[in-house]
């Protein structure tokens, strides 16, 4: 099944029935990941394509026995199960699941890049990530998540009352 236990951090986002899809997505993640921490949920303005509803974003940390590419395949299957259709880049979606970190792994292939290549540019990723891994050091940039958060714009991002269970 895998090559041992790996520490993983996953970002979750949705702007189509977002509360339902975040909860359902987390339930699916539990099938392959032992969740050890969940962030607050944040309402964030759309990024890239702005003609759409706000997003709800969160992050979870956990352990998995799946290798990185197999985990990615399961995440993509979960997105499809939740009705995600890739039409407009950065457009509306039922569920978006991204591998942010897989331990200290650095990987760049056609299928997967880890750490996520743009996480350090996105407040909507870094803010929930900071909730669960503020002192984690980005294995490529050599900076903590909290240091990366200090360098991004957080305008319009606010916590909401939704709690995802750890």
**Known active-site residue 98:** yes
**Known active-site residue 93:** yes
pLDDT at 87 over 80: no
Q: How far apart are CA 152 and CA 108, in angstroms?
A: 24
Question: 74, 93, 122, 131: which is the annotated catalytic residue?
Answer: 93
**Known active-site residue 96:** yes
CATH of 6-155, one of 3.40.50.1980, 3.40.30.10, 1.10.3720.10, 3.30.70.560: 3.30.70.560
For the chain, the domains span: 6-155
Question: 23, 30, 54, 84: which is the annotated catalytic residue?
Answer: 84
Question: 24, 31, 54, 98: which is the annotated catalytic residue?
Answer: 98
Please compute the mean of the pLDDT values over residues 89-95 and round it to a whole number. 78
Q: In which band, very low, low, confident or very high, does the pLDDT at 86 lie, cut at 50, 70 and 90?
A: low
Question: 96, 131, 147, 153: which is the annotated catalytic residue?
Answer: 96
Q: How far apart are CA 162 and CA 9, in angstroms?
A: 19
């Amino acid at each position: 099944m895998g090559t041992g236990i790996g520490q993983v951090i996953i970002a979750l986002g949705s702007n189509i029935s977002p509360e339902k899809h975040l909860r359902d997505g987390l339930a699916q993640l539990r099938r392959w990941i032992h969740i050890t921490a969940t962030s607050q949920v944040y309402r964030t303005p759309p990024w890239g394509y702005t003609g759409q509803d706000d997003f709800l974003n969160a992050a979870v940390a956990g352990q998995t026995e799946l290798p990185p590419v197999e985990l990615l395949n399961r995440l993509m299957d979960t997105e499809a199960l939740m009705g995600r259709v890739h039409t407009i880049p950065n457009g509306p979606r039922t569920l978006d699941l991204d591998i942010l970190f897989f331990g200290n792994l650095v990987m760049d292939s056609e299928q997967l890049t880890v750490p996520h290549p743009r996480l350090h540019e996105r407040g909507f990723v870094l803010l929930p990530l900071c909730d669960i891994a503020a002192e984690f050091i980005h294995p490529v940039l050599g900076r903590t998540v909290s240091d990366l958060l200090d360098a991004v714009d957080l305008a319009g991002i606010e916590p909401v009352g939704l709690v995802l269970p750890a």
